[in-house]
């Protein structure tokens, strides 16, 4: 950890400076999701597949988590207060099968990424729908985005619509284009080797 408390090669920016940026390479920017039609599907290698409406999702137990947000481009936003459903809550409801080791996320704009199930079960990993006390804006991934504090932001998928538990690892949008699948901010794992 650097003296600033930030991961290597990261610098802090004010929340207003670059927070609402375009997301190059993603199929569409801010897909303007209708909450009356939005559903979260949880499927794959699980005992109890789920299909949650927005109302169903909001009824799940929620939690608050404070963490920094790190972009692979080198900027970080400090002290973000996220509010949402812990990923572990989703996993406990869906009950992953014994051989489920990975989880893939599919988003309203066609974006995909995946992580190891073990990483997603950490306490601060959320499916967030609020940031700093406000509903999560569409430009920041609302209505629901994944927040994985120890990974670069491309692992914190926006506009999530499907969560699939898998036996095999699936490379996502940026990982297929040369970015690290590990994406650990503390080891500066930005690009695949």
Task: For residues 106-134, give the mean pLDDT.
Answer: 95
pLDDT of residue 137: 87
Q: Note the helical H segments in the chain.
A: 15-18, 54-59, 87-94, 117-120
pTM over 0.75: yes
In the chain, the domains with their CATH numbers are 11-16+31-177 (3.90.420.10)
40 vs 138: CA distance, rounded Å? 16
Task: For residues 161-174, give the mean pLDDT.
Answer: 96
Q: DSSP per residue over 9-35, as a string?
A: T-EE--HHHHTT---TTSSSS-----T
pLDDT surpassing 70 at residue 160: yes
pLDDT tens-digit map of 103-118: 999 999 899 999 999 9
The band of 19, judged by pLDDT with boundaries at 50, 70 and 90, is: low
Q: What percent of the chain has pLDDT over 70?
A: 90
């Amino acid at each position: 950890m650097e003296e600033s408390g930030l991961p290597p090669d990261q610098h802090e920016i004010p929340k207003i400076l670059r927070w609402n940026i375009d997301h190059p390479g993603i199929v569409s920017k801010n897909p303007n999701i209708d909450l009356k039609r939005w559903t979260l599907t949880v499927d794959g290698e699980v005992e109890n597949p789920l299909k949650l409406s927005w109302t169903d999702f909001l009824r799940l137990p929620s939690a608050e988590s404070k963490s920094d947000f790190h972009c692979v481009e080198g900027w970080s936003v400090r002290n973000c207060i996220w509010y949402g459903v812990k990923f572990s809550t989703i996993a406990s409801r869906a009950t992953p099968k014994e051989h489920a080791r990975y989880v893939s996320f599919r988003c309203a704009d066609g974006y995909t990424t995946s992580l190891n199930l073990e990483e997603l079960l950490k306490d601060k990993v959320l499916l967030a729908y609020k940031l700093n006390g406000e509903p999560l804006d569409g430009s920041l991934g609302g209505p629901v985005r994944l927040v994985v504090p120890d990974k670069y932001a491309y692992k914190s998928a926006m506009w999530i619509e499907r969560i699939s538990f898998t036996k095999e690892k699936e490379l996502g949008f940026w990982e297929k284009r040369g970015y690290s699948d590990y994406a650990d901010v503390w080891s500066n794992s930005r690009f695949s080797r």
